[in-house]
Structure 1
Amino acid sequence: MKPPHVLGRRPRVVVIGGGTGLSVMLRGLKERPLDITAIVTVADDGGSSGILRSEMQMPPPGDIRNVLIALADAEPLLAQTLQYRFKEGTGLAGHSLGNLMLAAMREITGDFVTGVRELSRVLAVRGRVLPAAAHAIELKAEMEDGSIIEGESKIPLAGGRIKRVFIEPADVSPLQEAVEALIEADAILVGPGSLYTSILPNLLVPQIARTIVESQAVKIFICNVMTQPGETDGYSVSDHLNAVRLHVGEDLFDYVIVNNGEIPPQVQDRYAEKGATVVHLDLDEVTKKGYKVIADKLVLFRTYLRHDANRLSHHIYQLVESWMLKKG
């Protein structure tokens, strides 16, 4: 049987999340013969994104910007320019040029989603980038001590353990294009990224999780390599999966991709200074819940630990290919 990408179309892959981890993975995936749609969180309320969100009543552009650049066929200097953050200037300091361009495109086109689409065309983005909702949402967390923390940027700084997160308005309308992409998907990937502040805000948008549950696509969770201080302190792989189930009410995934490569002690020590530790792979607990696990050496270390985009995309592509062949 022929591979799926020569059966008349490329496999349709939807990736859900936000933050640096998602962008790293997309840099690898865009080199594969895949039709990619990225659904990105609109809960960010800190820094440049937070200011533009508040002053211009628009969805926060930061995560969208990072994903656009990751998927773009842009010259390195252009990508660097879009990521440039101004250091001086009243009202300008702290803003990235890419965020300001997205704000300008919204003003020019009259609509944030259209602005993202047009900037995607200018940057020759390989795939589609969609916000989970057309409007910004506010993320709140109920902590284990019963207190409520308001705002995505404040949650990791609260210093307690998170019981659950929720969004307001709870009935925000999902972007219809995002729902349609999930319905048509051959594979749905969730993560990597901040569990409570990048991943779950997408899944809490009405219809998003329900559409994933009902989808016949292969569903894959890419687990973080390190815990995140203030969010997932001490979490194992199964703890991440349990948190998703707690929030959406069902198990979403067929496969879990995790790192089992050795992380040098000096690197672990550097992360430990900031309160982060290696996410423990409790394999028996994960497989007992019915998940299939793909474990490999998936990290690179330069200044920070990052997923090895090439190896990660290789595993994802193999999974998608075998799933499609199985479906016929």
Structure 2
Amino acid sequence: MTSKPKIVTIGGGTGLSVLLRGLKHHELDLTAIVTVADDGGSSGVLRQELQIPPPGDIRNVLVALSETEPLFEQLFQHRFETGHGLSGHTLGNLLLAAMTSISGDFVKGIREISRVLNVKGKVLPAANQSIVLKALMSNGEMVVGESTIPKHDGKIKQMFLEPPDVEPLEESLNALKEADLIIIGPGSLYTSLLPNLLVPRLQKELCRSQAPKLYICNVMTQKGETDHFTASDHIQVLLDHVPNLSLDYMIVNNRTVPKTILKRYALEGAKPVDYDKQRLASYGFQVISDKIIKYDKSVIRHDETILANWVIRILAMEKLKRKQDLYDK
């Protein structure tokens, strides 16, 4: 009996959740390493009041990988809109906080909730503690806090973690060592991806891993983070922060966005990420361009089915390469 291909995904936010919704329908051994840098909204309140890592990104990934009834998923994602002290909180965040209190540990709490939700795969925080994200701006100003960084005008020069020597889970390091494919993104470049990649031992193991590495590029720029960014600009930021990172594949969108949707995003200061083909080619990895987006009520999302199918194709290509290498020897 052949074992399932081991896939490690790294990220946070809605992008990672969308990808995992597609991957869970395939015979894969999935591990998601998720950011714990969020300090806004419900997660920020629970983080501050209960001294636990922020549960929001973890919650979204758990729901994405769950195989429960849709009503239970809806219940887990329910956000209270009224009630003193409850308003703004999601039930899933509160349950994760409660399970952390019961088990005495955030990671144990995630494991227990994973059992309840019948999660297909492992969900691991980038660290078993909260991380404070800092951004050094091009004007020399230091901005502190994941939720604060996008609100500042100006270009981000460098990202930092506090504490700088935060430790990852051994389970995450082992997953990277055993991976058949490592996927970075999709997700906010500075506030969802880099908080994971800047964890020192996690970064070291990522760069040391012999597994092929795939980066899935965002399809829209983000105001305060990636204003006017091209696809290659995303790559350059990754390499600036993770100099030893060697990518093998990148997936970019080439589907045109309707003008009506563009107008709505323009109000938020966002526009499609330009697929600058020539500059991307200079990096030396394989660039896959496809129509990887869909529209949901004028909101652009990655298409989880198309992304998952590309992951399966990449695994097949890598398998053929290994066979060819053995033949050549």
Partner of 2:62: 68
Whichever residue aligns with residue 141 of structure 2, its letter is S
Partner of 1:213: 207
Matched, 1:181 2:138: no
Matched, 1:35 2:29: yes
Partner of 2:322: 327
Q: Deviations over 1:251-276 (max 9, x none)?
A: 33110001101111111111111100
User: Of residues 134, 141, 148 in structure 2, which corresponds to 1:147?
Assistant: 141
Unmatched segments (≥5 aa) in structure 2: 324-329
Q: How does 1:213-232 map to 2 (within 5 A)?
A: 213-232=207-226
Whichever residue aligns with residue 196 of structure 2, its letter is N
Partner of 2:300: 305
The answer (yes or no) to whether the contact 1:186–1:324 under 8 Å persists in 2 is no
The answer (yes or no) to whether the contact 2:295–2:301 under 8 Å persists in 1 is yes
Which sits farther off after the overlay, 229-238 or 260-269? Answer: 260-269
Partner of 1:318: 313
User: Of residues 19, 26, 45 in structure 1, which corresponds to 2:13?
Assistant: 19
Q: How does 1:39-118 map to 2 (within 5 A)?
A: 39-118=33-112
Partner of 1:247: 241
Distance in 2 (CA, whole Å) between partners of 1:210 and 1:280 is 30
Partner of 2:327: none
Distance in 2 (CA, whole Å) between partners of 1:262 and 1:170 is 41
Aligned length in residues: 322
Q: CA deviation at 1:250?
A: 2.5
User: Of residues 161, 164, 170 in structure 2, which corresponds to 1:170?
Assistant: 164
The answer (yes or no) to whether the contact 2:206–2:245 under 8 Å persists in 1 is no
Whichever residue aligns with residue 61 of structure 2, its letter is V
Q: Secondary structure at the match of 1:89?
A: coil
What is the root-mean-square deviation in Å for CA atoms of aligned residues?
Answer: 0.9
Q: CA deviation at 1:207?
A: 1.3
Distance in 1 (CA, whole Å) between partners of 2:3 and 2:223 is 42
Partner of 2:276: 282
The answer (yes or no) to whether the contact 1:212–1:252 under 8 Å persists in 2 is no
Q: Deviations over 1:29-63 (max 9, x none)?
A: 10111110000000000011001111111110000
Partner of 1:296: 290
Q: Deviations over 1:134-178 (max 9, x none)?
A: 111100100111101100000000122111111000001111111
Query: Could you state the TM-score of these two structures normalised by the residue count of structure 2?
Result: 0.96
The answer (yes or no) to whether the contact 1:218–1:320 under 8 Å persists in 2 is no
Q: Deviations over 1:266-287 (max 9, x none)?
A: 1111111110011001111111
Q: Deviations over 1:178-199 (max 9, x none)?
A: 1111111000000000000000
Partner of 1:257: 251
User: Of residues 262, 272, 278 in structure 1, which corresponds to 2:266?
Assistant: 272
Distance in 1 (CA, whole Å) between partners of 2:45 and 2:174 is 31
Whichever residue aligns with residue 189 of structure 1, its letter is I
Q: How does 1:194-209 map to 2 (within 5 A)?
A: 194-209=188-203
Partner of 1:4: none
The answer (yes or no) to whether the contact 1:223–1:257 under 8 Å persists in 2 is yes
